[in-house]
Amino acid sequence: VTIPDAFYVPAGPECDAIGAAWRAGLPVMLAGPTGCGKTRLVHHMAAVLGRPMVTVTCHDDLTSSDLVGRFLVAGGDVRWVDGPLTTAVRTGALCYLDEVAEARRDTLAVLHSLLDDRRALYLERTGETITAPPGFMLIASYNPSSRSILKELKPSFRQRFVTIALDYLPPEAEAEVVRHEAGVDTAVAERLVRAATALRQAETSGVKEVPSTRVLVVAARLVAEQLPESLAVDIGLLNPLSSTGPVGDAMQELLRAAGLGAAGIQAHG
């Protein structure tokens, strides 16, 4: 299978680690904050390993039938339709379970037999057991900083995964990502990354939500469309973060100090 490669700047040895886990038939958990490149990494690894990728975005209402499939009635016929997990197992794909901590425990239970040496999916409704081919791999992601008691993954689930901790890239590498993704010049990319770094370092002083690489890329794309940098930063980077009031003001101040932000879009809106 040839999959178009996705541009990915590694933070460390994560690509080698995922490759080794894939060859060993082990599932992988990517732990990291939103917008740090988890999804992009899986796209990249699908291309590197030459496997298709199946993505499931997990949420509260996701059921095990949504994952494995169900019987559907069509024109008087009843036929079985594979869900995305079953399709991924049959085709030897990389199955990416995004935000796995959002799924309910009873939904995740269907994964257990795939996560150990059996590497098998049991379809209760049809009685079929499908053994995963060597190409198949489960990759899940979750954001450790957004976890709550309600959304905590069970240790018995977590401990079945090889776990790779990811974070925002070091400034130089992140600027390279912003430059590449938005097509801005290096100076713009570096200014945006400097501003983000300042905000991230202020996290302890009441700033709860920090800018991700994703919002940096968004702001840079607006700059690439000729929007003034201060406005692009306000609407692309700062306003999407939840901080309002004094914390929001302090963040504005930090951005001003970095030579960005404070275009006053909020005052107009």
Q: Is residue 213 part of the contact set for ligand ADP (CB under 6 A)?
A: yes
Print the binding letters for residues 58-97 with ligand ADP: x by CB under 6 A, - otherwise: ----------------------------------------
Outline where 202-264 has alpha helix (H): 213-224, 229-233, 245-257
Q: Least distance (Å) from ligand ADP to the CB of residue 212?
A: 7
Q: Which stretch binds Mg ion (CB under 5 A): 39-47, 66-74, 113-121, 180-188?
A: 39-47
Q: Which of 185, 200, 187 has its CA nearest to residue 237?
A: 200
Residues 12-41 that bind ligand ADP (CB under 6 A): 32, 34-40
Return d(Cα 88, Cα 68) in angstroms, integer: 10
Q: Which is nearer to Mg ion, 166 or 254 (CB)?
A: 166
- Indicate which of Mg ion, ligand ADP, none lies near residue 22 (CB less than 5 to 8 Å, by partner kind): none
How are beta strands 162-165 and 28-31 bridged, if at all? Answer: parallel
150: region left, alpha or beta (phi > 0 left; psi from -120 to 50 alpha) = alpha
Q: Is residue 143 part of the contact set for Mg ion (CB under 5 A)?
A: no
- Indicate which of ligand ADP, Mg ion, none lies near residue 143 (CB less than 5 to 8 Å, by partner kind): none
Return d(Cα 9, Cα 172) in angstroms, integer: 11
Give the one residue of 101, 121, 164, 177 binding ligand ADP; rule: CB under 6 A.
177
Interface residues with ligand ADP (CB under 6 A)? 7-9, 32, 34-40, 169, 177, 181, 213-214, 217
